[in-house]
Amino acid sequence: MSQEIIQKTAHELHDDLRSGATTATALAEAQLAHIDGHDDKVKAYLETWNDEALAQAAAIDDALSKGNDPGLLAGIPIGLKDNLVTTTGTTGCSSQILKGFESPYTATAVQKLYDAGGVMMGKLNMDEFAMGSSTENSSMQKTANPWNLNCVPGGSSGGSAASVAANEAVISIGSDTGGSIRQPAAFCGCVGLKPTYGRVSRYGLIAFASSLDQIGPLTKDVEDSAWALNVLSGKDPHDATSADLPVPDYREALGKDINDITIGLPKEYFTDSLGDDMRQKIETAVDVLKAQGAKVVEVELPHTNHGIAVYYILATAEASANLARFDGVRYGFRHPDAKDVKEMYTMTKSEGFGPEVQRRIMLGTYVLSSGYYDAYYKKAQKVRALIRRDFDQAFEKCDIIATPTTPASAFEFGAKSQDPLEMYLNDIYTTTANLAGVPAISLPCGLTEQQLPAGLQLIGKPFAEADLFRVSHAYEQNRGFDMGHAPIA
């Protein structure tokens, strides 16, 4: 019985809670028990908030019994990436430098989930400061892919993706700077959405690269993704970069036909570097959309190949400044042997940050340093404008762009961690959506020969998440197979 509950989606549970088929307390207990039974293998959670979750669930049950509406996500177990600050528990970005940090405030996005009745289960593992594509850069623990425990869950929201795939959360929240929601969602067989830049407030999201970061949901299906975005979206006075645009009810986009939709296939994404297996998965998925009435055209995104370079210049530059604040003065780790301020900085940072974070700080500092700004940073900003223009021009010919989310499915632990550049190239299909600020979603589109999930990426026009959901839902409902559950779920 409890095994069944935790397999359900948020929209199914929403009805069960209101019909009396279950209670928030029963759901929270089942969820916590399932985490307890499975997370020693998956290691998605850094900490769980059992007492707080049960207290929250009791309050939801109380409200429901009185006939009050406790919110769209009332009673739904939700997991949070460790870079979203919360007054409950700790927020550490999976880093030694911030380990044990107790935030005096809660991120706006998380507060919105609380306000909608979501029951927070705890904090999820990630690549340290969201820097990585495998969650191997966590300084806390290794999270495994529930589909194959020898494989990485992807990153940096690896804990978020693994928790949903392993049914250790109904919805989890991640952040996406260059693919950090979509890539792990693809690796773990769940739905991962990166909203338009500005759709969701970043206030309380520990910044990696401010001009690229967006918070988004990882869910079991498209409908849950739409529900979650309904809750997460909106203008926040605490975030100047959050858009002051109305939030449509994204649920209304679901179940509608897609006869008026044109799908663009960018030829730059379907090159030799894409494996046959993955290519075939995407082609099959596009056929499903065609069968549902969508038109398919070829489009061009000519600067796709420059995306990684632009991304790693801009993201590391911003990160080098964003991470400067971790200096051991106001919070976090301070090296105990520092005798003066200079030593406090250098010893704290050198010991507190892991190797990948240090590498990126070095790279970002270099591209901004005297004499190199124009050659790297400014050049990257200009090519960023070209990448955005590519998308604008492509969207004159189509409504949605379909691509693979990743060149291949999940890799084994250690497979790419020796060569940083090779690891960076893994983000080739995802970074451009961040650079252009456009919304993108990754949908499970079958299993590869290695029995690992493959991801279909759909990219939409700015603030056209409703279209993205409509097409995603049409695909999901008609793809003709059931993804089933991960072996560890």
Partner 1 sequence: MEYEVVIGMEIHVEIDTKSKVFCGCKNEFHAPANSHVCPVCLGMPGALPVMNREMVNKSVAVGLALNCEISRWSKMDRKNYFYPDQSKNYQISQFDLPLCHDGSCEFEVNGEINKIGITRAHLEEDTARNDHTQGIGESGIDFNRCGVSLLEIVTEPDLRSAEQTYAFLNHLKQTLLYLGVSDCNMEEGSLRAEPNISVRPVGQKEFGIKSEVKNVASFSGVQKAIEYEFKRQVKALKKGETLIQETRGWDADQGITVPQRTKESAHDYRYFPEPDLIPIAVDEAWEQEIRESLPELPLARKHRTTEQYSLSDYDAGVLTASREMADYFEACVAAGAPAKLATNWITGDLQALISDAKADITNIKITPEQLAAMIGLIEDGTISGKIAKDILPDMFESGKEPKVIVEENGLVQISDLSELEGIIREILTQHPGPVEDFRSGKMQAKGFLVGQSMKATKGKANPKVVNQILDQLLNEE
Partner 2 sequence: MSKITTEDVEYVAGLAQLILDDDSKERLVHEMGDILNYMDALNELDTEDIEPMMHVLDLANVYREDEVKKSLSKEDVFKNAPKSEGDYFLVPRILDNTES
Q: Which residues of this protein are in contact with partner 1, per CB under 8 A?
A: 83-85, 91, 93, 98, 101, 103-105, 107, 202-207, 209-211, 237-241, 317-318, 320-321, 324-327, 329-331, 341, 345, 365, 368-370, 373, 377
Active site residue 156: yes
Report if residue 303 touches partner 2, rule: CB under 8 A.
yes
Residues 431-470 that bind partner 2 (CB under 8 A): 435-437, 462
User: Smallest distance, Å, CB 258 to partner 2?
Assistant: 26
Q: Which of 420, 477, 485, 487 binds partner 2 (CB under 8 A)?
A: 420
Number of residues that bind partner 2 (CB under 8 A): 66
Which residues, in sequence order, are bridge partners of residue 78? Answer: 120, 171
Mask for 372-391, x = binds partner 2 (CB under 8 A): ----x-xxxxxxxxx-x---
DSSP assignment letter at 269:
G
Report if residue 104 touches partner 2, rule: CB under 8 A.
yes
User: Smallest distance, Å, CB 335 to partner 1?
Assistant: 15
Separation in Å, CA 183 to CA 32, 349, 380, 463: 26, 29, 23, 21
Position of tokens 């191997």?
A: 136
Partner touching 257 among partner 1, partner 2, none, CB below 5 to 8 Å by kind:
none
User: Smallest distance, Å, CB 106 to partner 1?
Assistant: 10
Partner touching 338 among partner 1, partner 2, none, CB below 5 to 8 Å by kind:
partner 2
Q: Rounded to an integer, what distance in angstroms lies between the CA atom of residue 383 and that of residue 388?
A: 9
Partner touching 203 among partner 1, partner 2, none, CB below 5 to 8 Å by kind:
partner 1
Q: Which is nearer to partner 1, 187 or 377 (CB)?
A: 377
User: Smallest distance, Å, CB 394 to partner 1?
Assistant: 25
Report if residue 68 touches partner 2, rule: CB under 8 A.
no
Q: Which of 75, 174, 332, 444 binds partner 2 (CB under 8 A)?
A: 332
45-48 and 119-124 strand pairing: antiparallel
User: Smallest distance, Å, CB 182 to partner 1?
Assistant: 21
Q: Rounded to an integer, what distance in angstroms lies between the CA atom of residue 209 and that of residue 224?
A: 27
User: Smallest distance, Å, CB 382 to partner 1?
Assistant: 13
User: Smallest distance, Å, CB 142 to partner 2?
Assistant: 22
Q: Which is nearer to partner 2, 4 or 244 (CB)?
A: 244
Catalytic residue among 133, 138, 156, 233: 156
Are the CB atoms for 467 and 222 separated by under 8 Å? Answer: no
Q: Which is nearer to partner 1, 39 or 213 (CB)?
A: 213
Phi, psi of 361 (to 5 degrees): -60, -40
Of 304, 325, 423, 315, which is closest to residue 363 (Cα–Cα)?
A: 315
Active site residue 273: no
Catalytic residue among 180, 233, 320, 417: 180
Burial class from Cβ neighbours inside 10 Å (0-12, 13-18, 19+) for residue 240 reads: exposed
Tell me the residue ranges of DSSP E strands in 208-337. Answer: 214-219, 262-266, 295-299
Separation in Å, CA 14 to CA 8, 76, 299, 404: 10, 8, 40, 32
Position of tokens 């991801």?
A: 455
Report if residue 241 touches partner 2, rule: CB under 8 A.
yes
SS3 65: helix
Partner touching 269 among partner 2, partner 1, none, CB below 5 to 8 Å by kind:
none
Active site residue 242: no
400-404 and 262-266 strand pairing: parallel
Find how far residue 170's CA is from the centre of its chain: 14
Are the CB atoms for 445 and 454 separated by under 8 Å? Answer: yes
Separation in Å, CA 278 to CA 281, 285, 450, 478: 5, 11, 11, 19
Separation in Å, CA 291 to CA 167, 415, 418, 440, 478: 32, 38, 43, 22, 9
Partner touching 373 among partner 1, partner 2, none, CB below 5 to 8 Å by kind:
partner 1
For 299-328, b where at least 16 C-beta lie within 10 A, e where not — what string? Answer: bebebbebbbebbbbbbbbbbbebbeebbb
Catalytic residue among 8, 81, 123, 281: 81
Report if residue 340 touches partner 2, rule: CB under 8 A.
yes
User: Smallest distance, Å, CB 14 to partner 2?
Assistant: 33
Residues 140-179 that bind partner 2 (CB under 8 A): none
H or E element that contains 184: helix 182-188
Report if residue 421 touches partner 2, rule: CB under 8 A.
yes
- Positions in the binding site for partner 2 (CB under 8 A): 101-102, 104, 197-198, 211, 237, 240-241, 243, 303, 305-306, 308-310, 312-313, 320, 327-334, 338-347, 349-350, 353, 358-359, 361-363, 365-366, 369, 376, 378-386, 388, 420-421, 424, 435-437, 462
Active site residues per annotation: 81, 156, 180
